[in-house]
Amino acid sequence: MEKLLLNDMALFVDVVKLESFTKTAKKYGVSAAAISKRITSLEDKLNISLLNRTTRKIEPTEAGETLYKHASKVYDDAELAYTATLDLHKNPKGLLKISAPINFSHLILAPLLVQFTKKYPGISIDIQLSNDRNIPEIGSYDIAIRAGKLKDANVIAIKLTTVKFVYCATPDYFKHHTPPKKPDDLNKHQLVDYNYREEGALWTFIEKNQHMEQPITPLISSNNGLFVKSSILNHSGIACLPDFMVKKEIEQGKLVACLTKYKTLSQPVWLIHPFANRYFPRKAKVFIDFIKEGVKP
């Protein structure tokens, strides 16, 4: 039986026990809509209605009662087995498979993973770096980290942080070019574009809740933020980069932020895991707790 189906059955058991999509969603840190979609997906796979949904209450159908009766016993027994196993092994162990974006991993995750492995020497890490926005297949990862709008609304995702973007260049560049005061001044400048964004060759500015999109014609563009950062550190022009990539250089005076009176778009960063059931692997749980503590919102 496929893992996703088993996970959906576990969610169904909790919905019946708690008599609420909202309470179940709160337990797993996701939206009620996401839980509802997963239950609907389970009903579609089984080709039968499992819940009677009304504005006042949620209760199982006859088929739902049958599934709940058998599935709840299975998950209760599994939870007991899981707890008993943890009692034998207090320290979490095993291989943790992580999928994460390249730049975020280099600058944020790498130092945290060193600290994590020192704290939990029984856990080894296999981290695969990619800027692919898609969620990996169930079974191929324990934790996936993704930024921006999630392509699959049914995944179990925990918001880790929010990344803001900064427009910046070197002091030397601004010695030879007047710093822009408004977005359309960018037409007079050399621009280096980090084109990983989904919206294309547009830089977005927000003033008094009004969004302005400035089309750009970059001198240099790349899908790698570290390349773009290296390029502007060599005085090539202005770039729009995630704040975690340039914060240190701005504090050191190597880069200067511009157009700071405008807000920029921000991107949420998500921790995604496939463990909808209640016997959450401890190696994954301690990792999530550790990373949430280590990465400031």
pLDDT at 7: 75
Number of domains in the chain: 3
Q: How many CA atoms lie within 13 A of 291 on its CB side?
A: 25
Give the C-alpha distances (Å, rounded to integers) separating 109 from 3, 115, 149, 224, 243: 28, 10, 20, 17, 15
- 178 & 261 share domain: yes
Q: How far apart are CA 45 and CA 288, in angstroms?
A: 31
- 117 & 103 share domain: yes
- 170 & 155 share domain: no
- Domain end, chosen from 68, 88, 108, is at 88
- Domain end, chosen from 65, 88, 111, is at 88
pLDDT at 78: 67
Show the tokens assigned to 37: 């979609």
CATH number at residue 18: 1.10.10.10
Low-confidence ranges of the chain (pLDDT < 70): 1-6, 55, 77-90, 138-139, 153, 197-200, 276-279, 297
pLDDT at 138: 64
Write out pLDDT tens, residues 77-121: 666 666 656 544 567 888 999 999 999 999 999 999 999 999 999
- 155 & 276 share domain: yes
In the block, tokens 């999630």 appear at: 150
- 54 & 118 share domain: no
- 276 & 258 share domain: no
Range of the domain at 242: 163-266
- Domain end, chosen from 59, 88, 117, is at 88
- 105 & 221 share domain: no
- 250 & 169 share domain: yes
Task: Give per-residue burial for 68-89: e unless 16+ CB within 10 Å, then b.
Answer: beebbeebeeeeeebeeeeeee
pLDDT at 89: 53
Write out pLDDT tens, residues 135-157: 777 667 889 999 888 777 677 88
- Geometric angle at alpha carbon 16, from 15 and 20, rounded to 5°: 50
- 79 & 199 share domain: no
- 115 & 78 share domain: no
CATH number at residue 124: 3.40.190.10
- 120 & 250 share domain: no
Q: Is 221 left (phi over 0), alpha (psi -120 to 50) or beta?
A: beta
- 149 & 288 share domain: yes
